[in-house]
Structure 1
Amino acid sequence: MPAAVVDAALIVAAVLDAMLMAEADRPYAVVSTTVAALALAVRRRLPYLVFALTLPATAVSSAVVAGAVALYTVAANTRNRRTLAVCAVIYSVSCAATVGNHDLPAPTRVDLLVSVGYNIATAAAAMFLGQLVQARRDLQQRLAEIHQVREHEQQLVAQTVLAQERAQLAREMHDVVSHQVSLITIQAGALQVNTNDPDARTTAQTIRDLSVRTLDELRHMVTVLRASGTAPTELTPQPTLAGLSQMIANSGIETRLDGDLPTDVSAAAQRAIYRTVQEALTNIRKHAPGATATIRVRHDGDTIEVVITNTPATRPTVPLPGAQHGLIGLRERAELLGGTLTAGPTSGDGYRVQLRFPATTQ
């Protein structure tokens, strides 16, 4: 119900209580009860002042509605238990003063005990009801805060998932799309050098230029995606070691594979090996055209090691854009498996990429 309606109803109840309990031949009782009833209109803004204005009415008459409502308002708005207890005692004492206001024989001990008990019960009811309403209001506020926190957590989870998907998308774009586009660039460059047909040479030049531009734009896209990415999540479908031989055969690089590929490793480990070999061969095509590659796989029961080395370039290189995102992604994959990835030049002007991780990785 609206607060104004509630206050109006309480004022009416207090006025009716005053009309019934205040004696008409005692003007000060009528005035005090009227003031107490009307003061309830501002009880929400000035609870202590309203409580003080109701005390004379409780002391000179048997009207209890205005005083009880004022004490309830104080209890519902204060968090100081000592202040509330003092107000309850003052209210009980004021109510007890009405025992001597009637033209009746001197009250007996039983009458006094009953009157005091009634006054204490009235004060306690108003006080505990106010505290109950305050606790309910605090609980509602706490529940609203919890609801806001949950909504905020859901937003954070959604943002985290989105960032993970962007990071994985950036990796897959670099590992898959750039791999294919760089192969197109190399093949177009080879066609441009080896053909005698002017039209074919022009077409090959166009294809190579577009491929280089595509790689450059792809690098910028990967950079943007990685800017908001965190730990990776895997997307499907994913490559396995079953397709590694075919990928090597299609790489356009003379490659020798030494060792047997492990068959009892997890899907994540297979993807890591596949992507490492794929990235290494892609870099060889980019930076060492004409080089040969050797892939050595060693599995000693506790550790799996994959080493890709290549000889120096035998033909002039075609400048291609790069931002080292491939090696960054490979290192992330290795770390997720509890392993390491190292890469660097060899003593014979070649290059070496080494992946090591525990064989028990799941």
Structure 2
Amino acid sequence: MRAAGGDEVPVRGPVRAVPADVVLVALAAVDVGLQLDHYTPLESALSAAACAALVVRRRFPLAVFLLSLPAALFSSVVVVPLAALYTLAERGRDRRLLVVCAIASALASALPWPLSEYTEDDRFWTFVDFVYLLATAAAPVFLGQLVQARRDAADRLAEVEEAREHERRLHAQGVLARERAQLAREMHDVVSHQVSLIAVRAGALQVGAKDTETRAAARAIRGLSVTTLDELRHMVALLRASGGRTAEPAAQPTLADLRQLIDTSGIEVTLKGELPSGIGAPAERAVYRTVQEALTNVRKHAPGATATVCLWHEGDALGVTVVNTPPTRPVLELPGSRVGLIGLGERAENLAGSFEAGPTPDGGYGVRLHLPTPTAESGTTG
């Protein structure tokens, strides 16, 4: 749902909101009903409409508040304007609009009605009433903003906890991968070597033995040793692959994996441009890691922001630019070592390129990777 300030606001469960809406509308109806004797038919209809509009105040907070102003002007009703102000403050993010609405509510309640009866002698007391009513209108505004800040903090903490859990899983996977790689090395260097010696000795015994039973036993031992050695080699290959020790280029991220990275980032990302084929695995990995680190930082430090990933190729240079918009939700100050950005800069230098990162004029953040176009003779690796 989009609130008055133009920001997306989560809609709470309708089932839980129904009892609160019923009680609030009932209180507003009682508040208005106590003053019906002083209303004209038009004023009664507008006041009743303002009470009924409280049901949809979460979906249309600004419209409901504007509808409450006539009720505040016609009489001294309290529930309708204060409820409308609270909902607008709890849903909206434009503080200037909230100040204007609080002043409008206090002014509508302070002005005498009908306006034709307003005299010069009423100015002082009207001003006094306006000051007190403005202080009263500020209370639901502050309360609504407090509830909104609490909700934003809870959502942000949930995102931080989710990111930490993801990092813990990655760390656990890294530890497991290193253990598997170490186990693969031990199996290859020790176990496989010993089984190979058994097979060689069994073969020698099979050739040199004189009696039939010994040759048969040696043949069986050699056959089992060869089978065991094949199975060990297969297990070592699997452990190396799962442990990240495979030397196959396909195990490293490439530009073909960029779309999946963007789709699973949890951020609204626009991908533009493309890079020529054949730029080399080091350059592809550098582009991938730059986009990966940039989107990770957007999620951690710019909640609610959108990002644009632009792949570009100009003459003898190529690279990627990632720019995000300012955050739309409050940002919690989190510790950061900037190791990721430093690593991207070092990777770019290894490829004879450059890396830049910094805030944008509109309050967002941008990173840019610049690499020379690899040539057929280039042997640079990264």
TM, length-normalised to structure 1: 0.58
- Kept in 1: contact 2:73–2:113 (CA 8 A): no
Structure 2 residue aligned with 1:46: 60
Percent identity, please: 52
| Distance change >3 Å, CA 119–CA 81, structure 1 → 2 | same
| Distance change >3 Å, CA 226–CA 25, structure 1 → 2 | closer
The correspondence of residues 1-362 of structure 1 with structure 2, limited to 5 A, is 2-24=16-38, 26-98=40-112, 108=122, 110-230=124-244
For residues 59 and 205 of structure 2, the distance between their equivalents in structure 1, rounded to whole angstroms, comes to: 88
* Local SS of the residue matching 1:62: coil
Shift of 1:203: 1.7
Which 5+ residue runs of structure 1 have no aligned equivalent? 232-362
Shift of 1:104: 9.9
Shift of 1:99: 6.3
Which 5+ residue runs of structure 2 have no aligned equivalent? 1-14, 246-382
* Local SS of the residue matching 2:111: helix
For residues 123 and 57 of structure 2, the distance between their equivalents in structure 1, rounded to whole angstroms, comes to: 36
Structure 2 residue aligned with 1:351: none
For residues 93 and 113 of structure 1, the distance between their equivalents in structure 2, rounded to whole angstroms, comes to: 9
* Local SS of the residue matching 1:213: helix
Superposition CA RMSD, Å: 2.5
Deviations 1:48-75 (A, max 9, x none): 2211211110111110210111121111
TM, length-normalised to structure 2: 0.56
For residues 147 and 56 of structure 1, the distance between their equivalents in structure 2, rounded to whole angstroms, comes to: 46
- Kept in 2: contact 1:40–1:50 (CA 8 A): yes
Structure 2 residue aligned with 1:248: none
Equivalent AA in structure 1 for residue 133 of structure 2: N
Deviations 1:183-213 (A, max 9, x none): 2112112212222122212221221122122
| Distance change >3 Å, CA 132–CA 107, structure 1 → 2 | farther
- Kept in 1: contact 2:85–2:140 (CA 8 A): yes
Deviations 1:96-154 (A, max 9, x none): 22366698997555522320112211221121111111111111211221222222222
For residues 23 and 41 of structure 1, the distance between their equivalents in structure 2, rounded to whole angstroms, comes to: 25
Deviations 1:73-95 (A, max 9, x none): 11111112222222222222212
Structure 1 residue aligned with 2:346: none
- Kept in 1: contact 2:177–2:242 (CA 8 A): yes
- Kept in 1: contact 2:85–2:101 (CA 8 A): yes
List, as ranges, runs of 4+ consecutive aligned residues in structure 1 with deviation greater than 3 Å: 21-29, 98-110
Greater Rg, structure 1 or structure 2? 1
* Local SS of the residue matching 2:107: helix
* Local SS of the residue matching 1:98: coil
Shift of 1:10: 1.1
For residues 19 and 116 of structure 2, the distance between their equivalents in structure 1, rounded to whole angstroms, comes to: 35
Shift of 1:22: 4.5
Greater Cα shift, 188-197 or 21-30:
21-30
For residues 82 and 15 of structure 1, the distance between their equivalents in structure 2, rounded to whole angstroms, comes to: 30
Equivalent AA in structure 2 for residue 49 of structure 1: A
- Kept in 2: contact 1:33–1:63 (CA 8 A): no
For residues 210 and 104 of structure 1, the distance between their equivalents in structure 2, rounded to whole angstroms, comes to: 109
Deviations 1:206-245 (A, max 9, x none): 21122122111111100000101158xxxxxxxxxxxxxx
- Total equivalences in the alignment: 231
For residues 50 and 100 of structure 1, the distance between their equivalents in structure 2, rounded to whole angstroms, comes to: 23
